[in-house]
């Protein structure tokens, strides 16, 4: 494929190929000299129209460790502030011949639209409440390393499912890999048509966590609630905040995940988040760099093959 727009477009063997290649980058990233020439001579532009710490930093590091020339477009200081549209901005950057464009945008579908207008590889770094594919891939790698497999696990995804692109991408990936998925949260934070997603749905967190292998917590996405349901944080923590007492319902070796940024004392107890015997939250961050290196490496190989074929007149 030319782009990475969503997990919905990936086959299970493609997901495994990303995870296997990412393993080699986990090893490289633990060395003192972290350098590969997989993207040597290529140009990567990061365009983030929404705030980010983990995704932007890890895409930048990933590109630099692979030898690319990496440019972070500063949206706050760009002509977007003068009214230039997303597509005109993308076409302008496209004329500078980037090879990889990493895009985060608040509108669902915006990254797909942009990908149709440019002739480089586009990676979706999160679009609205639609998809966040590299997050689901890094979560899968974290789970596989902790549990030894990424199939036949019972995974609870808890909290604000309705507004979460992380939940959506994880749901698709974990479903493709034949896991049992439980969605836990108040009905007001469940997406419409949740009964048709093929998951078990729980309003009671303790009941939903019973015998789970993986507990994935989500942030309350207040910025996407359109002035609608915003629960009292105290009441929410009481019912849906993960603490040691609620976690005791899951398997003894269940792991705790959170994509970040997390709100301690709202969806997760701070001490539990820092407990390295249960929490793999920092591992998720580490896997993020390796997975993004693997994704960009694979897309760069496809891009070279496509350009090579075009040069000899095959396409």
105 is in an annotated binding site: no
Among 12, 109, 187, 261, contact with ligand CP (rule: CB under 6 A): 261
278 is in an annotated binding site: no
CB of 50 to ligand CP, least distance (A): 8
In DSSP terms, 127 is beta-bridged to 105, 131
**135 contributes a contact to ligand CP by CB under 6 A:** yes
Nearer to ligand CP, 43 or 164 (CB): 164
DSSP 77-99: GSGGGGT--HHHHHHHHHTT--S
CB of 88 to ligand CP, least distance (A): 25
In the DSSP assignment, the letter for residue 264 is B
195 is in an annotated binding site: no
From the list 81-89, 90-98, 194-202, 255-263, the region that binds ligand CP by CB under 6 A is 255-263
Round to whole Å and give the CA distance between 149 and 204: 28
**Joined tokens for residue 244:** 């040691």
Nearer to ligand CP, 63 or 259 (CB): 259
CB of 292 to ligand CP, least distance (A): 11
DSSP E strand stretches across 251-290: 255-257
From the list 28-36, 47-55, 84-92, 235-243, the region that binds ligand CP by CB under 6 A is 47-55
Round to whole Å and give the CA distance between 5 and 126: 9
Q: Are 267 and 159 in contact (CB under 8 A)?
A: yes
Nearer to ligand CP, 6 or 126 (CB): 126
Round to whole Å and give the CA distance between 54 and 36: 21
Window 67-126: residues binding ligand CP (CB under 6 A) = 126
168 is in an annotated binding site: no
């Amino acid at each position: 494929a030319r782009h990475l727009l969503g997990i919905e477009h990936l086959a299970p063997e493609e997901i495994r190929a990303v995870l296997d290649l990412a393993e080699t980058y986990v090893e490289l990233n633990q060395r003192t000299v972290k350098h590969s020439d997989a993207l040597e001579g290529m140009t990567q532009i990061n365009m983030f129209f929404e705030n980010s710490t983990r995704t932007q930093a890890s895409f930048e590091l990933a590109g630099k460790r692979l030898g690319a020339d990496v440019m972070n477009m500063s949206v706050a200081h760009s002509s977007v502030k003068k009214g230039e549209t997303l597509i005109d901005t993308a076409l302008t950057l496209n004329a500078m011949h980037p090879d990889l464009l990493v895009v985060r945008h608040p509108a669902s579908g915006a990254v797909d639209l942009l990908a149709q207008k440019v002739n480089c590889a586009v990676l979706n770094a999160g679009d609205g409440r639609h998809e966040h594919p590299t997050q689901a891939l890094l979560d899968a790698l974290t789970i596989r390393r902790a549990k030894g497999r990424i199939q036949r696990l019972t995974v609870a995804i808890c909290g604000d499912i309705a507004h979460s692109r992380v939940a959506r991408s994880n749901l698709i990936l974990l479903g493709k890999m034949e896991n049992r998925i439980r969605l836990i949260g108040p009905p007001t934070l469940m997406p419409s048509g949740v009964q048709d997603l093929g998951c078990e749905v729980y309003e009671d967190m303790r009941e939903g966590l019973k015998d789970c292998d993986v507990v994935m917590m989500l942030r309350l996405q207040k910025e996407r609630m359109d002035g609608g349901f915003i629960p009292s944080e105290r009441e929410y923590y009481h019912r849906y905040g993960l603490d040691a007492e609620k976690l005791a319902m899951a398997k003894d070796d269940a792991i705790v995940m959170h994509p970040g940024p997390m709100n301690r004392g709202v969806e997760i107890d701070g001490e539990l988040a820092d407990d390295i015997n249960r929490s793999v939250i920092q591992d998720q961050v580490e896997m993020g760099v390796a997975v993004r290196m693997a994704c960009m490496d694979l897309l760069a190989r496809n891009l070279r093959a496509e350009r090579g074929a075009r040069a000899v007149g095959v396409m």
